[in-house]
Structure 1
Amino acid sequence: MKYLRFTEIIYPVVAVISLIEAIRSWSVDRNRAYLLLFFAAVSVGMFFLRRYYRRKFDQRRNGGR
């Protein structure tokens, strides 16, 4: 189950890197910047989705509701 927590942490890292790259490439290539902003938004969404399901599985494993 530790790998689930590790993969959960990867998504915010990807979001931050995507945001930084989007800011850096905003004046050079606007289409690339939009794509990187999309990746950042998807990464944030995946972070919350993975966290929700990890907590749900932990609850089920511990026998609580």
Structure 2
Amino acid sequence: MHQVAVRIAHLIYNAALRQFEAVVEFFSPGLPQPMRVPVRVPAAPDMGHRRLVRALTHEARRRGGIY
């Protein structure tokens, strides 16, 4: 895929499991609709925004086979 845009569509913090749960969407000119990848990232609730976005995007790319 070329020129992929990313959006974190849904994000919640599951305090019982101490993890963020999200749906990450990938947009590309070749896709008729965004590819949605559900992810879970173990983390503290006070994780910084930049680090959280990087972790969620990395996990979504890994699970979705996007490199």
TM over 0.5: no
Higher strand share: 2
TM band (smaller chain) = 0.3 to 0.5
Q: Please report the TM-score for the alignment, with normalisation by the length of structure 1.
A: 0.33
Quick one: higher RCO (CA 8 Å, sep 6+), 1 or 2?
A: 1
Higher helix share: 1
Please identify the structure whose Cα radius of gyration is greater: 1
Q: Please report the TM-score for the alignment, with normalisation by the length of structure 2.
A: 0.32
